[in-house]
Structure 1
Amino acid sequence: MSNNPVYLALDVPRLDAAEALARKVKDHVGGIKLGLEFFCAHGHHGVREIQKVGLPIFLDLKLHDIPNTVAAAMQAINTLNPAVVTIHAAGGRAMMEDAKAAAGENTKVVAVTVLTSLDNDDLSAIGITADPMEQALRLAELSQAAGLDGIVCSGHEVGAIHKQWKDGYFVVPGLRLPDSKLADQKRIVSPREARDNGASLLVVGRPIRGAEDPLAAAKAIEETL
């Protein structure tokens, strides 16, 4: 993998536009994150097209189902040899163990703890009494026990989780530069803050994708690191 920890979130519906953007910024990001929107629209073919750009691929599919189904889904994407794949820690230890066992040897399997779009009120509404930090720490501990490579958490939690899990691989999304709009993210920090707190991989989407000059935006973020 590249030394640049920034992965561009290519959450765009058109394959040609996604590939063009990836090529434009490829020298200033470390990899490409392809999420549900992209994968549902373009599947394996789309992933292979983006792979031609020459960067590692992070499949952010957030798999969450019974253990057998998640393992089968993981086996189905092994031919794509992704660098990183996400599952949901809330699926439980057995699901996480089976997902890791089914993954390719070069694929890091990381579990989503608490989505960065959720805050205390959102967690309470779905019956979780812990605050985001407590919940993220609990699910990180479960993910580590299940043998995963790491977790996904917000920049607010990564420092505490890093202290608890020294050699974990930590993916931090919801990153914004100081002058960026928050959109639907609620718990955000800057890429530099997240990196300083122990993040291994930084997911950046709209600050690059939505910029008037995506290349300049990617360079500006790279320079802060």
Structure 2
Amino acid sequence: MNKPLIVALDFPSSNEALSLVSQLEIYHPFVKVGMELYYKEGPAIIEELKMKNCNIFLDLKLHDIPNTVKQAMKQLARLEVDLVNVHAAGGKVMMEAALEGLEAGSRVGRKRPKCIAVTQLTSTTENMLTEELLIHSSMETTIKLYAALAKESGLDGVVCSALEVPSIKEVCGNNFLAITPGIRNSEDNNHDQHRIVSPVQANRLGSDVIVVGRSITGAKDPHSAYLRMKSEWEGLL
């Protein structure tokens, strides 16, 4: 991957998603399909996006017993998307099973989708971690442990806040992907996310890929917003 910007298609149906993609189609955008859109439209939305030459991150965050995740990943591999994910909290055996499923479901001669693990959601706060999840290590310690476990399991990288990228790279090396959501312009509303940064900050912190949603999809002019975010991310502004 060459430092892509992934646009989060967090829409309730294909009409809105494809309308947004049509405004960016000349750039062959990398897009994210999450639970809301995929559960509404199913595999059909993946095929429509592939017809528009999009790269696709299918963001379903699988977390279940190892065999269930393996069988699910076998089916997702057949969609021939570029990137899928699991929750690192599912553990090493589950993450290894996810890779087994992707390998088994990928066509002969075609590389499996890259697989990354969610460390902690960017909506998670330090207080939530200790008071609700009863994880009494710090956020940084927990995320570093989860990232190391994902690497040990053979995964390609993690989803994390850009704020955690330097420590993850320190533990897992520069070739281990750090894909960072929670990207906002300074004037944007944080909504339900807490550990957020700007595209410029993500670049400086060493993110490999950023995921941008409402700062583009909720903009009055999504095309201009996309170009601005992309330019800031690539260090051109």
Bin of the TM-score, shorter chain as denominator length: over 0.9
TM-score by length of 2: 0.91
Instruction: Indicate the SS of the match to 1:202.
Output: strand
Given residue 49 of structure 1, which amino acid in structure 2 is its aligned partner?
A: E
Is 2:227 the partner of 1:215?
Answer: no
Aligned to 1:81: 80
Aligned to 1:109: 115
Q: Is the 8 A contact 1:5 1:29 kept in 2?
A: no
Please identify, of 85-94 and 158-167, the stretch whose mean Cα deviation from structure 2 is larger.
158-167
User: How far off is 1:28 after superposition?
Assistant: 4.7
Listed as ranges, the gaps of 5+ residues in structure 1 are: none
Instruction: Tell me, in whole angstroms, the C-alpha distance in 2 between the residues paired with 1:87 and 1:207.
Output: 25
Please identify, of 93-102 and 18-27, the stretch whose mean Cα deviation from structure 2 is larger.
18-27
User: How far off is 1:198 after superposition?
Assistant: 2.1
* Cα distance per residue 1:72-126 (max 9 Å; x no partner): 0001111211111010000000000010122143311000000000011111111
Instruction: Tell me, in whole angstroms, the C-alpha distance in 2 between the residues paired with 1:21 and 1:148.
Output: 31
**Which of residues 125, 150, 171 in structure 2 aligns to 1:143?**
150
Q: Residues 1-225 of structure 1: matches in 2 within 5 Å?
A: 3=2, 5-28=4-27, 30-103=29-102, 104=106, 105-124=111-130, 125-166=132-173, 167-224=175-232, 225=234
Listed as ranges, the gaps of 5+ residues in structure 2 are: none
Q: Is the 8 A contact 1:169 1:200 kept in 2?
A: yes
**How many residues are aligned here?**
224
RMSD: 1.3
Please identify, of 189-198 and 168-177, the stretch whose mean Cα deviation from structure 2 is larger.
189-198
Instruction: Tell me, in whole angstroms, the C-alpha distance in 2 between the residues paired with 1:25 and 1:201.
Output: 18
User: How far off is 1:34 after superposition?
Assistant: 0.4
- The 1:48/1:130 distance shift into structure 2, 3 A limit, reads same
User: How far off is 1:46 after superposition?
Assistant: 1.4
Q: Identity over the aligned pairs, expressed in percent?
A: 38
* Cα distance per residue 1:51-91 (max 9 Å; x no partner): 22211100010000000000100011112111110100000
User: How far off is 1:29 after superposition?
Assistant: 6.9
Instruction: Tell me, in whole angstroms, the C-alpha distance in 1 between the residues paired with 2:205 and 2:165.
Output: 6
- The 1:197/1:45 distance shift into structure 2, 3 A limit, reads same
User: How far off is 1:157 after superposition?
Assistant: 0.3
- The 1:29/1:177 distance shift into structure 2, 3 A limit, reads farther
